A and B are shown apart, each in its own frame.
Chain A
């Protein structure tokens, strides 16, 4: 019952906010707010594999891209059929079904991509894993670049605007709750045991390959959902949005906040997105100083801004409902 109450409250609060959040903060800030939400989903999910399971992936942008293009593709090409089948619903209902179908496909496609990349790659360790995930991310991007149906190098336009503050932050809540519950369960303990000592984990019966792939797939699924939400918010996709530099920014978010904690990933996502947006008018000056800030944070505070400070330590308080 507590759970149902939580979700009803979440839906009500987000739905209520959706009605006037844009008028309160203004169109520009609204845009940033939504982007922050998308980046939170990406960072929190990437943290599952990089922070909790301790595997260094720099290919998150690839799964983000798979989700974005799948969702947009399904909606753009399946729009007529889906609207036809749901003709009895009002416009808002049709849009909701359309978006949910798109997101479901995005999640499945990104999850499958994660599985396809994860199974062969996760045998590799450290830097080799890093570079192979980066490579897969780039391969995915180049493949998309060559699919004419989704615009190829021209970019994919004409995507209907279906997602908004409400959907993005519902996505944030779902992601955070899922990742939180997962790391608090025996799955989370298995993930962290792999990070701490893979050989010992294996000796204690943890099938490390299986759990690595699992965390990779779950992480990819949420990246895919973030992609779908992004596509239907900006209404235009270009393969260059999903360059490996995007993966770099996501890693920066989770490391700046502090690896292996959900609050860290959220803090990092907010900080990096807002910093980059606020100083946008300063052009290249902004990124130069952002880069210096990053270098200095890493030199002077390598455990991230939040460090080891975290509200909920994995597995410490069992039986907590969320």
Chain B
């Protein structure tokens, strides 16, 4: 059974059809790429899945539960996490705190625990800190754990976004152009991190990316969308040779 199933989703803005009768099916543990020219509707799809928008038609199911129309925070708690194309870190917080925010939903502390600073809270805070540091180590951010997030270099900010998303312990991780603005070496490292997220954390990855090296290098299945509709679906090799894909990218030249 698919862990994430998008069925017949349509979303229009005014007269513009951003996503049209779209289907996406991710099986557990997939590394799944979603590509398409600029304005093809990829980010809209992410926003539909994560609850920023509600689809006009269609259903989205996560592990058997319909999630369309729910609040973004509720969907996040059910197990979908994401990164943002235009980085959205908590700039005034430290790197460590950024990750800790994501862990709050696993907390057992109540308001009174927090106000009275009970031993339960302190133990839990220590655990949260330990887990967060471990995660930062994997993403090579531990040395800057106590710096303000906005002071990090661009590539590190992208990595921190992934670490923060993983800290929610999602079932499905949505990455929105994680390699944007990275140099080739950083992109290679990113590919390792994405694979590791799947292998070590057991998440299913849905990746939107323009860097074809990264997409072809990471994804096992690729879906190509254009004007909100699927035009191709298959393994990287098949996609590269698909005439409709070439047409869409080269604009019928």
User: A interface vs B, CB < 8 Å?
Assistant: 3, 178, 181-182, 184-190, 192-193, 195-197, 199-208, 214, 260, 313-316, 318-319, 321-322
Contacts and interface: CB of A to CB of B under 8 A. Distances in A.
Contact of B114 (A3, A187, A321): A187
B130 to A, nearest CB: 10
Contacts of B101: 189-190, 193, 201, 204, 206
Contact of B76 (A185, A195, A205): A205
B90 A186 contact: no
A203 B105 CA distance: 12
Interface string B69-82: 00111101100011
A184 B126 CA distance: 12
A189 B93 contact: yes
A203 B49 CA distance: 11
Contacts, number: 122
B89 A186 contact: no
Contacts of A260: 92
Interface majority SS on A: helix, strand, loop or mixed? helix
Contacts of A204: 76, 81, 101-102, 164-165, 168
A207 B100 contact: no
A154 B164 CA distance: 57
Contacts of B91: 196-197
A177 B10 CA distance: 51
Nearest to B46: A203
Given A201-B101, A318-B126, A185 B82 contact: no
Contacts of B16: none
B96 to A, nearest CB: 8
A178 B125 contact: no
A207 B71 contact: yes
Nearest to A260: B92
Interface stretch (B36-44, B116-124, B245-253): B116-124
Interface majority SS on B: helix, strand, loop or mixed? helix
Contacts of B1: none
B71 to A, nearest CB: 7
Interface centre among A181, A200, A214 (most CB of B within 10 A): A200
A202 B76 contact: yes
Interface residues of B, number: 44
A298 to B, nearest CB: 20
B114 A186 contact: yes
Interface string B133-166: 0000000000000100000000000000000110
A189 B100 contact: yes
Interface in B42-85: 50, 52, 71-74, 76-77, 81-82, 84
B114 A192 contact: no
Given A190-B104, A197-B89, A205 B117 contact: no
26 contacts: A181-B116, A181-B117, A182-B115, A185-B113, A185-B114, A186-B114, A189-B93, A189-B101, A192-B92, A196-B93, A197-B89, A201-B73, A202-B72, A202-B76, A203-B73, A203-B81, A203-B82, A205-B77, A205-B102, A205-B105, A206-B101, A315-B93, A318-B126, A318-B129, A319-B125, A321-B117
Nearest to A189: B101
Contact of A208 (B73, B111, B113, B115): B73
Nearest to A318: B125
Nearest 6 A-B pairs (CB), nearest first?
A: A185-B114, A205-B76, A196-B90, A200-B88, A186-B104, A202-B72
Given A315-B97, A319-B122, A322-B117, A185 B168 contact: no
A318 B128 CA distance: 10
Contacts of A178: 115
Nearest to B78: A205
B73 A202 contact: yes
